Amino acid sequence: MFTLRLLTCALLTAGASAAVADWQALPAKAPEPAANPSTPAKVELGKMLYLDPRLSSTGTVSCNSCHNVMLGGEDNRGGSVGVHGQVGGRSAPTVWNSAFNSVQFWDGRAPSLEAQAKGPVTNPIEMGMKSWDDVVARLKAIPGYPEAFAAAFGSGDVVTADNAANAIAAYERTLITPNSAYDKYVSGDKTALTEQQVRGMNTFAETGCSNCHSGPAFNGPTLPEGTPFFMKFPTFENGMFEAKYGFSQDKGRAEVTKKTEDEHLFKVPTLRNVALTAPYFHNGKVKTLDEAVRVMAKLQLNKDLSDQQIADIVAFLNALTGEFPKQQMPHLPGLPNKTFDYD
């Protein structure tokens, strides 16, 4: 099934078929798994954990450090800065609308938001905790967290790694940005887009961009959670762009699977709010959206777009910036009279 999805996308990208774009508005609510139903208490706990730097070994890095909900859901860096100033090798993807991804991370190694939430905390370059046991011990030592976990998950030994990840995922599922100009347009308000944006929308489809960047989140077809949708990048070789940006240095999915056939496969990222998430691509080497469109057209579609076509597509992509729900910062529970032994 996965191979067919990848092959279909590749054929369409190569121009073997012409597709009519299926324009869909973004739902105002994200899907949630039956095993982790959302509640206000769970979301509030998840927000606290998401913003708490004490989940890192140095007490300086939180989930929000790299996926800033005060901005476009990432950090506008080519590589995110973790504990002890270490810089990661990939650009942080946005957390906004990540609930509409069927897999998480650029290489799709996490099948859910719950699984994703556990990764950075114990990654030595990111948040640097030695184990989730250490995280749980720290949370239990902070007065206020056991009560917050009990409110979200009930009585008993509920301060656990799984429940922490479930809470963070529940919070992340509230990070939806509907009602963009594009959403209003496809919902019937034909005055919502400018003439140039409509032209860019049509160019986006006619060029072939929507063959992979489809669906309500512009990240591919709506698939069951855990079902990957990958695309090879670059699809077409180009010595100039490779020398300038070094896209092929990262082997993508193959870094996880160690399989040759998975080399340079990446999750198709959302284009929602893409105007706010520069720099672009997995390595964050492209600084402007105009250049990103030019690169994508050449490397994925083998097409040279005119300056006018690029300007029109960029205008359309700006219309994908949605309405951001207000984020009220929580008061994190304190640790009276002492501190942890941070790295």
Q: Where in the sequence numbering do the catalytic residues fall?
A: 126
Task: Burial-class residue 72 by CB neighbours within 10 Å (0-12, 13-18, 19+).
Answer: buried
CA–CA gap between residue 283 and residue 39 (Å, rounded) = 36
Name 302's Cβ contacts closer than 8 Å, sequence gap at least 6.
Answer: 14, 15, 235, 236
Query: What angle in degrees, to the nearest 10, is found between the helix axes of 289-301 and 307-318?
Result: 110
| Residue type present at position 97 | N
| Both tokens assigned to 161 | 């790694």
Structure tokens, 284: 């964050």
Tally DSSP H helices, then E strands, for the chain.
Answer: 13, 2
Distances (CA, A) of 59 to 31, 121, 126, 128, 322: 32, 11, 12, 10, 33
How far is 151 from 158, CA to CA, in rounded Å? 10
Q: Angle 132-134-138 (CA atoms, 0-180°, nearest 5)?
A: 115
d(CA 157, CA 151): 12
